[in-house]
Amino acid sequence: MQIAIIADLHANLEATLAVFKEIDKRKPDRIVCLGDLTGYNANPNEVVDIIREREIPCIMGNHDAAVCGLEDPWFFRAAAKQVIEWQINELRDDNRRWLSMCPEQIVFRGTCLGVHGSPSSRDDYIIDWLDAMRQLEYLNGRDVTICFFGHSHRPSFFSEKGNTTVSNSNIRQFQPANRYFVNPGAVGQPRDRDPRAAYGFYDTDKNTFEFCRIEYDIDTCQRKILAAGLPMELARRLAVGK
């Protein structure tokens, strides 16, 4: 079985369409979304519509919670908060209702946990191996061997039995009797200095995870950001992936 894992689409329609075009070529058995369909870019309704129409299980991200009025964006940076305020008015009521019903966690295949930020909170960041290991206590007592997460916008692969990050190989092997934290990277706003949209595939037969990247029409996405009157810095960062 192949499961496509996506996260942090952030209203970037161009990146979302490019990623799904590639995913559809692989015909995975399942797709799981780790949240944040909204925020940062200019097409929140179109991106939410795609996930809804495909009936993809989706977690509520922190931007989604803010757009739905379930979380106060007071701690967001100024540019991110400005987009949230704009999207509150742009998002259709049916999409807001749908987002507000998304769960905070998803368990799939019995031993896989999907979260947005971390098992403890959708607002927590897992940036490095130590961050991941601090989250192990929230897996204790649960039959979870792989925790898929987003929020940091950085492809990551952390093993309980060693500090493991993404290497030159884009395919990583899961080992028995071990626990892992895996971030596929961001579809809509990569932050690892690679502007290409990021996503991944979990192969349950081979017990591997493949990190994938795809180029998309950044120029069009940038023009939409500026046309909507959103901060210039959000358009600029897309081109450099940070």
| pLDDT at residue 28 is higher than 90 | yes
Q: What is the mean pLDDT of residues 128-141?
A: 94
Q: What is the mean pLDDT of the chain?
A: 95
Please, what is the Cα angle at 122 between 2 and 84, to 5 degrees?
105
Whole-model pTM: value is 0.95
pLDDT digits (tens, 9 = 90+) for 207-233: 999 999 999 999 999 999 999 999 999
Integer angstrom CA distances of residue 220 from 72, 84, 224: 30, 20, 6
Residue 75 has, within 13 A of its CA and on its CB side, a CA count of 6
Whether residue 162 has pLDDT greater than 80: no
Please name the residues in contact with 44: beta carbons below 8 A apart, sequence gap of 6 or more: 11, 37, 38, 67, 87, 90, 91, 95
- Range 2-240 has CATH code 3.60.21.10: yes
Mean pLDDT of 197-213: 97
At 211, the amino acid letter reads: F
- So what's the pLDDT on residue 168? 53
Are 150 and 123 in contact by the 8 Å Cβ rule? The answer is: no
Grouping H, G, I as helix, E, B as strand and the rest as coil, residue 96 is helix
Residue 228 has a pLDDT of 97
Average pLDDT over residues 144-158: 96
Domain spans of the chain?
Answer: 2-240
Of all residues in the chain, what percent carry a pLDDT higher than 90?
Answer: 90
Q: How far apart are CA 196 and CA 217, in angstroms?
A: 10
Mean pLDDT in residue range 158-169: 70
Q: Mean per-residue pLDDT for 171-189?
A: 95
Main-chain dihedrals φ then ψ at residue 166, nearest 5 degrees? -65, 130
